[in-house]
Structure 1
Amino acid sequence: MKPETQQVNTTQAAELLIRAKEASIADLSGNVDFLEKKNADLQARYTALFKLNQLSQECNDLESFYPQVHSTIASLMTAKNFFIVLYDQTFETLEFVYYLDEKDEKPSGIIDYQDYDGSFTNLVIESKQPLLLTPELEKQLFDNYKIKQFGVRGTDWLGVPLLQNGLVIGTITIQSYDEKIRYNENDLNLLTFAAQHIVGAMVRLQDQQRLKNAVNARTKELMAQIREREKSELLQESLYRISELTTDIELDIDTFYSKVHNIIGQLINAKNFFIAKYEKESDTLSFSYYVDEKTSNLAKDFKPRKLSNRYSELVLRRRETVLLTYQDMMSLHLEGETKKPQDDIHSWLGVPLIYSGQLLGVMVLQSYYYKTTYNQQDAELLNFVSNHVSAAIKRRELADFERRSHELLEQQVKLRTLALEDEITHRKQAEKLLKHTAAHDSLTGLPNRTVFLDLLNHAIACAKRKDDFSFAVLFLDLDRFKVVNDSLGHHAGDVLLKIIARELLAIVRKVDTVARLGGDEFVILIEDLKSNNEAFEVAQRITAFLQQPFTIDNQLVYTGTSIGISFSNKRYSDADTMLRDADTAMYHAKDNGRGRYEVFDDSMHQKVQNALSLEADIREAIGWQEFIPYFQPIIKLDNQKLKGFEALARWQSTKRGFVYPNDFIPLAEETDLIKEIDIQIIEKSCQQLKHWHDELGCDDLYVSCNLFSKQFFSTSLPQDIEKVLKRTGLAPHHLRVELTERALLENAEIVLTNMQALKNMGVKILLDDFGTGYSSLGYLHRFPIDVLKIDRSFISNVDEHNNNRAIIRTIVDLANNLQMSTVGEGIESLADAELLQQMDCVYGQGYYFAKPMSSQDTKDYIIQKLYYSKNV
């Protein structure tokens, strides 16, 4: 490069650098100007808001206050068109107290609020929210009939509510008619903030104005009445002084009352004076301030008291001024309205303290000297003063409450700030507790079903990945747990469950999981088995442990357990299936004698499938009306006459052929299908018996039908029976219903109600299998039972067993004493029948007389019996 060229390039670079610096300096200067302008705007806003706070001190009346508010707002934003509206919620009126507008005239006087329905002001008052109304929003609201047109249409309209204690007392509005003058959200926020400062000052000035107006008006009236006493100036000054006391929030309450007393004392002789506050909740008087020249023990005489028949209470009851001489007080006493007055009382004057209709208390003057006698003028004066004292007391209380609230708030803020870390810690602890609660049983603290299924699913997944990993599930159900609950109560049952849960944890290894599924069901996951014998050993230890008695509430409690075991297998893909198989094995253990364990195999699964298939067929059979009654005769033992039949359910299945009750009734009871079968058998039995009555003329025969115990827990049972009788036409006294003792042990009130309803209908009630229950004797006197059926287990070979004879004799004697009949079941020989007859058992049934028969065979049996009785 040539030297000349190099010099030229250097010169150009220098010039470029100088220009860049100049531009940078210009930008910096612009930013400084912008920041200075921003600072000036903020300073102007701060000055304006400070000015708003000073208005209540600088302004003596509202007339000068409103223009200064406008002036201050105008210093913050363009506000050529500005107005303030006051809203009276009680009278539902509006008043435009300040109004400047380029195009519209000020609405005059007090305006009905309804007249402005649909106005922008109405929107702000109803919503209690600030509103920035642009032409676009105005058109949208107008088109949707949300607003109406009031006055000249403008560009932007800005309005905010004046809120006092959450209530709207008015609005402030700024309006623009010029497209160049527009408002934004910042203006809306600023006006809203300013309104908060305006409300307090405005309310104070309004209160002061109202007070002055009231004082001036009332003072003028009093001056005419008490001109002769030349106290008008003193009265006005005193009232102003009382009013000023309300604004001095630094003044403590005792000093406040003392100053009130001093002011009143300048108007009326008040050597003996007190103010008592009325506590409505406790119905008591509490003496806030008292001075008395005669009382030696002020604290005792002016302690809080329940309302009684004294003179202060008379003022409270009447809610009016009471002026009394000693003679007046004695007259009231003799009439029984008040207590006897003190001998040294000469004159007494009391006025109620009432604020906004609320009774605050009473203010009292009393005189002990004849030279000081209160008159009607004193009463009127004190009554007038009481209005201001009431307002002053209420405002002092409110101010004191507000001060304490502020102090409490500040303290709470400090405490809250200091407690944030503790709160976070507690929240974490609570979350941890919630997680634990969601995953564990609330009674025993063991993991719940959800957690157990998650762990079991994880074990199944591990077994699929590892060929040498094996595990087992033990499903436990307590034996006779329901007996514990029924006999000792649920508290004892809960204690037993807690003990068993604790012991199960001690029996298994720490790596194993014990969970409670609910009720008396527990499950155990035994992982990483070396052999199946480990699971068998755990089951044996648990079985042996639960065979031992427990002591609960000083009572020995016996239980036991049946355990089902399912071992890990490749065919298991989910926890529910494996748990179901363990459950199935547990039921096999129960069926095989309880107090044992069984391992699940495919044959059990097949049994479950068979039960499901049988259940489905039972449901179909109910719909197809396949269940039919077989009839077994009931004989009067002394003359062998036929009295009636017991109807027994049989199933003539289109799929399975003839099915005996032992093959379907247990499953029907387990699935609650037995209820529908019972009703079907009752209806067919009643229909058949009615047919025999009409055809054979044997209208003295009855039919007795069995009802599953849960039938008596249904409130609709009497109605169901009544419908059957109406459909079949059978008279109620020809029907008997049989229930077992189990029904009497649960839901006793519902069972009793149903039995009484059936008795009232005319249906008789038999107690079946008597003598095999737990608490039968305790229930017999309570339930309306007509017949006891002696269980066949006592009658079988009764002539060979002396113990059975004693039991039967006891049952028969018990029935006779309770005016019940007896039926002996299972009579299989002449000897059985004769022995029962000798024991005064009235009726009998069994194979000795006849087996249960079909309808046709029963008809033949009836005809044979009828023929026999005619020829005997």
Structure 2
Amino acid sequence: MGSRATETSQAIRQLPKLKSLLKKYRQLKNMQSGLLQLSELASSVTDMDAFYHALKPLIKTLFVTDSFHIALLNSSDELQLTYCQNLGEIASHQSVDISNWRKSLTGLVLLNQKMAHYSANKIMQLAEADEISLSDSACIDWLGVPLKRGEQVVGVIALQSYDAKLNFSKSDSEILTIIAEQLVKAIDRVRSRELLESSISQRTVTLTEANQQLQREIVERQLAVKAHQVLLNISELTAKSHTIDKFYQALHHEVNKLLPAKNFYIALLSDDKSELEFPYYCDEKLSQPETRALSDGLSEMTIKAGKPILLSDRVLYTLAAQGNVTQCAFTKHYPEHEMPRSWLAAPLTDHGEIFGVIAIQHYQDENAYQSKDLELMRFVSHHIAIEILRQKVQHQALQSHEALEQIINKRTQELQATNLNLRMQIEERRKAEARLYHEAHHDALTQLPNRAMFSDRLTYAMRHLKRHPNHRFAVLFIDLDRFKMINDTLGHHAGDQFLIEISHRLRDCVRDNDILARLGGDEFVVLLDSLQSLDDIEEIASRIITSIAQPFDLDGHTLYSNASIGIAQSRITYKDANEILRDADAAMYQAKSLGRGRYVFFDDSMREKIIASMTLEQELRQAIKSKQFELHYQKISDLTSTKTLGFEVLLRWQHPTKGLLTPSEFLFMAEETGMILDIETWVIEEVCLQLKLWKKSKEYEHAYIGVNLSGRHLIQANQLTKLMGLISINTVEPERLILEFNESAFARHTELALKGLRKLKEFGVKLALDDYGAGLSSFNFLHNYPFEFIKLDRSFIRSLNNNDKNLSLVKALHELGTKFGYRLVAEGIESEAMLQKLQTVGCEFGQGYHISRPAKIVQAKSASNVVAMHRAQQSL
């Protein structure tokens, strides 16, 4: 009995301990169950509001209070209350300015980045120390834990107790820390899902509506080909542009193809529609503005109207939804120095909601844009809006790519059910990629390989040559004659048909293992691979020339062309494909210069000529800048009285290393490059200055100066006007100038050149036909053209030494001159005998070494330059 009583007594003493252990066990079980629920909740809930509401009973189960709140950092790094279970805490946070969130208990936890447990006394101490702002809702006990993503703190979760008997323990801190970890994971998961689903939904809706709108537009009307191409380019910008800045630049370039858009900008509303930002702004007067609050500007006017607007000469034109255009006076105050002469804008909309403006403006021309452009601007702005939204969606999609991959991994089981559909999509994509590859490597017109593909194959052949030195190949560079004439006369459609027929003929001429490509325009290239001998190259080249020489039947017209072929053979020394193409191109130009319709093999001398030509061009440009030219004057005399009629000015180049060069050594390059106009401008200015000096000195005050000019002045647009303006500026005596042109100026543009000569005649200058007798020397020039002097070429004059029959021709020309109003000038008189022969047949004027050698006149501001010229002539 005693032992039983003892056991009973011990059991009674152990009972409180057992109850305590049971209570701890229940608490641990509740905590484990709660944490398991939290983990499942984070994996299953797809909406943050639903997650927060589901978190409330879990908090109540694990802690002594159900008063808690969650605050997260926003995009501006400001702490915002995301969820709060306690109305007092909501009021407390609302009383604290968002910019002063650091002076709150939640802010202290975020700034210190560690757990904090504050009693009521500690809270009062913090408030007295001005570390926090004390709110009306004062709790008894406060526990806060930072929400961390890795090492980065993104927010705070905090518990509040308002019962003096209920305080938080160390275990509460540990449990809340675990909840914080699960909470961050849940927030990331739910936000990723929300962002992904929103992005997918928005993009699907946008693409669906864009497709429907496009179908309606196609049914209603067809835009011009140029507008279609621009809109197609705009739709492709999202795929081509890697950054938003490049996207806007490309967008500007495309709009500029449709309308004058030198001044172009895009303005977008902020999310709360209170500010206007300018992500792209290109203006010739104003720099890119900063983001600003909505005001009374032109952009805001378009946003308020919600319709395309045209401002021209202070009149507003507005395009209604039905297509009607209304107009009214523009009465807003606007700075005159910033006011454009013409301004055209349209709103950017998304599902009928305006989110920005696209605008173009012109500061010089008030008629730069017409009211009919309003409809075009509305149409363009619609497509631009779609592309801007698509660009944003794509940017967001790229940012959430990692989250998307995680979701795809989790939904693998679901995707297995749609595996067949996915394989079909992959096959379609493969076909699309094959089409894109073909388009990127083939010419759209002829379907031949393009430059990119040809370069790849040529590079491969060159690499193969390095591994197999006995391998041989060649490149044929083919250029067609008369292609530009076909385009200009029959139109681009005929030109395209011509190129297609050329491609068919070239295919028939090359072998199966050869590569035929079109580089662009009328240039084709052939890679002849696996050659056995030089005869193979010549055979194919001859076959091509013969085939191209056959007539072409285009739109009822029979046309003829020729092929000039440059051939470059494989060499181990070639470094890349560009070098062999360059040499083949050089050989082709050599073939054209030899008479076209032939082939020429490249040799090193051609490269040397190209280098020499490039060097000459560079030196000639430097000579123009440095004014390395000088003028020599040769006297033109009356052959009977020996009286001086005037002088012919002869151009010389004082080369820094080669000495004095004559025009035959450099003028051909000046003609090819167009630099001849700059040189002749300088010559005109110098000659007019010399006329002024002679006028002051009273010597040669009535003498003429003859200047040789390029035919470009007669056949190029506006060049004749510039020439007459130059003469007017530099002299008041244009009648003392003799402008000399040779027959090449009239060879191709006879009527145009004749009109130019008549304008010069009316302007007052004298006109001379130079080098008559050296070329075709048509009699048409004698009676139809307003020449006052016919200058017989020195080669023709030289023939008089051995051929007296030509004297009869000179006599006949002299007699015709009395009828047609011109006078003869003989060039190249080099002996007394030649002078006497010309005098006997009536030639009136002449020049040459026998009369006077060319001499340089030293420029001076007095009459001493005339004396210097006399002395120079006597010394020669």
> What's the TM-score once normalised by structure 1's chain length?
0.49
**Structure of higher CA gyration radius:** 1
